[in-house]
Structure 1
Amino acid sequence: MVEGRYSNNPNDRGGATKYGITENVANAYYGYKVASLTKEQAKEIYYKEFYLKNKLDKVASDKVALSIFDWLVNSGVWAIKKAQLTLCNLGYKVDIDGIIGRDTLNSLNSVNVNDFLNEYHRIQKLFYEAIVYNNPSQKVFLQGWINRLNNKIKYIKEM
């Protein structure tokens, strides 16, 4: 689990979070404030609401599934849309709709894993830089996002 302590930075567009789970998600899932969330509850939400709900258990490569999952926790549906953009950039024909349907899943399961990850991580870095370009108040978070990405890349290489 990459995420940790409770945070409620007023500049964070995600609002209050704990273990990477937002207030809204914790409230919808358990009916109470995110500050009360336990690590076990966060793991359950991660698995059911992020991993299974987005069919990442059907992705053949654990490396690809993990990379998409990590970005989902950080940026929501953008992670799926950017995975679809990555596939398009690599010559696959998929809709960029934020849903892992049959075509996206088949493409994820046939793509060269290293090619996918290199392009996906390149796009993820650009995504974070674009957030800051469009909203300079978010610059305070940029280095943390880049560190998270670099840590993910390192972890995946060691898998």
Structure 2
Amino acid sequence: MSFDRAHEIAMKHEGFYANNPNDKGGETYRGIARNYHPGWEGWALVDAEKRRLGVSSLKTNQRINSPTLDSLVKAFYRVKFWRRGWFDKFADSSLAIQAYDFYINAGGNAVKVLQRVLNDSFGFSLAVDGAMGRNTVNAVNSVPGSELFEAFKQGRIAYYKRIAKGSNAGFLPGWLKRASMFNYAGGISAVALLAIFVGLWLLNKPS
């Protein structure tokens, strides 16, 4: 599964600029929350645009026309989410895309949901620690992709409903709409699957 394809799909669910007072992440651009990622280099370009326009906050969903900023967004997601989530090791592309999108939205809690689903629905005994690693990836790749996809999707929906309290309540419709847009579309080509298997072999190779 290529990062470019997964990222393209996930970004359809992330807007451009936002500064919702009910969002604990504060000011955001392309889903990157300033309160959680204050050191992101892109904030300098966002602030420069606000100074240029003479405003303290941009309009909701306002896009900044900057190829440099676009590149910083993509680099951020590649390192902070795609690589950290090990999604390139998933043998099923549909599952990788949904997991990547959920991870962007919920961080380690998305991994916990996946681990609980693997334990409760597929008989594994994984540590529910929110950290993606070799054991979780091996479990993901050892069960039918379509079955795990649907169980994971339902777990995702249940998670959203569980946290939709207080200031989060207003976000529930959007979260549910986001989850509902993912439907199983099959796995991947034999060539890509072979590449993943080789990667997993190298991952598990004794040192």
Q: Which TM class, normalised by the smaller chain length? A: 0.7 to 0.9
- Structure 1: 5+ residue runs without aligned partners? none
Indicate the RMSD between aligned Cα atoms, in angstroms.
Answer: 2.1
Confirm or deny that 1:64 pairs with 2:92: no
Confirm or deny that 1:27 pairs with 2:27: no
Confirm or deny that 1:11 pairs with 2:22: yes
Give CA deviations for 1:63-84 in whole Å, capped at 9, x if unaligned.
1211111011111110111111
1:31 to partner: Cα distance: 7.0
Confirm or deny that 1:139 pairs with 2:150: no
Q: Which residue of 2 aligns with 1:122?
A: 154
The range that moved more, 17-26 or 5-14, is: 17-26
1:48 to partner: Cα distance: 1.3
1:41 to partner: Cα distance: 1.5
Q: Taking structure 1 as the reference length, what is the TM-score of the superposition? A: 0.86
1:32 to partner: Cα distance: 3.3
1:39 to partner: Cα distance: 2.4
Give CA deviations for 1:6-26 in whole Å, capped at 9, x if unaligned.
111111122221111111455
Contact 1:19 1:39 in 2 (8 A): no
Task: State how far apart, in whole Å, the 2-side matches of 1:88 and 1:34 are.
Answer: 44
Q: Taking structure 2 as the reference length, what is the TM-score of the superposition? A: 0.68
Task: State how far apart, in whole Å, the 2-side matches of 1:62 and 1:25 are.
Answer: 29
One-letter identity of the residue aligned with 2:185: K
Task: State how far apart, in whole Å, the 1-side matches of 2:177 and 2:139 are.
Answer: 29
Do the aligned partners of residues 45 and 25 (structure 1) sit closer, same or farther apart at CA in structure 2, a change above 3 Å counting? farther
Q: Greater helix share, 1 or 2?
A: 1
- Structure 2: 5+ residue runs without aligned partners? 1-10, 48-63, 188-207
Please identify the structure whose Cα radius of gyration is greater. Answer: 2
1:130 to partner: Cα distance: 0.9
Task: State how far apart, in whole Å, the 2-side matches of 1:112 and 1:64 are.
Answer: 10
